Amino acid sequence: MSDPGNIVLALDAHGGDQGLAVSVPAALAALDQDAGLEIVLVGNPTELAATLDASSRARSKAFRAAAGDAPARVRIHPADSVIAMDAKPSAVLRRGQGSSMWRAFELVAAGQADGCVSGGNTAAMMLIGVKLLGMLPGIQRPALMAYVPNVRGHTGLLDLGANLHVSAGQLAQFAVMGAVTAREVEGIANPRVGLLNVGHEDGKGHLVVREAHQMLKALPLNYVGFIEGHDIFDGTVDIAVCDGFAGNLVLKSTEGLARMLVGEFKTALAQNLASRAGALLAGPSLRRMLAHLDPAAHNGAPLLGLNGVAIKSHGSSDRKGLTRAILEAGREARRQVHLRIASSIREYQLEASA
């Protein structure tokens, strides 16, 4: 029986490009880092049992002793199929009921898990999440949020592609959802919120962002006004709000730039003896910088607005990245972020504004 004080997470073990080769080691790593977690691996039972056994045996005896009872906090829940990364919504509804992603959401809907994590098809995750968990009262559309690095730490960015066309009221709801998450999960007492636009002046931008700007100024948020793209990375705000089209472009560009910079730094530092000597001298500082830029360090995008906790991991994530997403799900579940979002939406009377 589970410890009643533990957080139970359902992990879509087959979700993502690398499947069990990443999901099982990541689950064990997350359990090592958070003693209050239990993880249900959802997928093919035979394949999961074999991979779990191999991953457990691969850990050294000393490491297993230090990790305590991590394997005892893992169990397997069967699923008989996997949703393809390119599956269409209609196919998900027709043939997805027995899939690992569907079964993971079912565990949350039934109260047998406190949250779920998947690196699978984003559209399918949105569709299944809305169907099985439902939306929070007053929220019209869910939003996907991720963290991107800035000079001080990171900035929460939403929406990331779930909503290409939005209303002013939906942008205001996104702002509230992002601010609540930053406060409850990141511990930022009064998160600074900005609305992404083509300029800082009140008259800039199209009608929807100007209307949202006026709505946000009237809310009891720490709203700093319009921001431009560079403000996200300057650390001007803790939460940057935009439609899904702009957010997806910003996120993908940021990840691509980060990978390019990391690769260029590593190439430059290995070019000759002098650069390698310099790298040794600057080693700790360089490692901190490269770790800060690493997209895996910021992996784990919550689907906000659902009546439950669901975290989207990047499909190409490695073990480190997926571990981070699992730990993020644990933090959100502990803080019951979805319930706090619902409370704020009621308090700010935004139910009818979408």
Mean pLDDT by 10 residues, the chain (354 residues): 74 92 95 96 95 81 49 91 90 91 97 97 94 93 91 91 90 96 93 96 93 96 96 94 94 83 73 65 60 70 96 91 95 95 90 56
- Residue 245 counted as domain residue: yes
What is the pLDDT at residue 62?
A: 42
Q: Based on the domain organization, do 272 and 173 belong to the same domain?
A: yes
What is the pLDDT at residue 1?
A: 39
Boundary residue ending a domain (267, 297, 327): 297
Q: Based on the domain organization, do 287 and 145 belong to the same domain?
A: yes
User: Rg of the chain's alpha carbons, rounded to an integer?
Assistant: 21
- Residue 206 counted as domain residue: yes
Cβ burial of 213 (10 Å; 0-12, 13-18, 19+) is: buried
- Residue 213 counted as domain residue: yes
- Residue 193 counted as domain residue: yes
Contact between residue 324 and residue 300 where contact means Cβ atoms under 8 Å apart: yes
Range(s) of the domain holding residue 54 = 1-138+305-335
Q: How many domains does the chain have?
A: 2
Note the pTM of the prediction, 2 decimals: 0.87
- Residue 277 counted as domain residue: yes
* The token pair that represents 251 in the structure block: 């996120």
- Residue 350 counted as domain residue: no
Q: Based on the domain organization, do 119 and 181 belong to the same domain?
A: no
What is the pLDDT at residue 132?
A: 96
- Residue 342 counted as domain residue: no
The SS3 of residue 304 is strand
Boundary residue ending a domain (271, 297, 323): 297
What is the pLDDT at residue 348?
A: 87
Q: Based on the domain organization, do 147 and 176 belong to the same domain?
A: yes
Boundary residue ending a domain (273, 297, 321): 297
The SS3 of residue 315 is coil
User: What residue ranges in the chain does DSSP mark as E strands?
Assistant: 7-12, 37-43, 74-78, 115-118, 143-149, 154-158, 192-196, 222-227, 239-241, 301-304, 310-312
Residue type for position 172: A
Q: Based on the domain organization, do 173 and 277 belong to the same domain?
A: yes
Contact between residue 20 and residue 26 where contact means Cβ atoms under 8 Å apart: no
Q: Based on the domain organization, do 283 and 330 belong to the same domain?
A: no
Q: Based on the domain organization, do 324 and 183 belong to the same domain?
A: no
How far apart CA 204 and CA 226 sit, in angstroms, is: 9
- Residue 21 counted as domain residue: yes
Q: Based on the domain organization, do 200 and 80 belong to the same domain?
A: no
**Other beta carbons within 10 Å of 240:** 28
Q: Based on the domain organization, do 42 and 152 belong to the same domain?
A: no
Q: Based on the domain organization, do 108 and 221 belong to the same domain?
A: no
Here the CATH number for the domain that contains residue 180 is 3.40.718.10
Q: Based on the domain organization, do 234 and 210 belong to the same domain?
A: yes
Q: Based on the domain organization, do 197 and 292 belong to the same domain?
A: yes
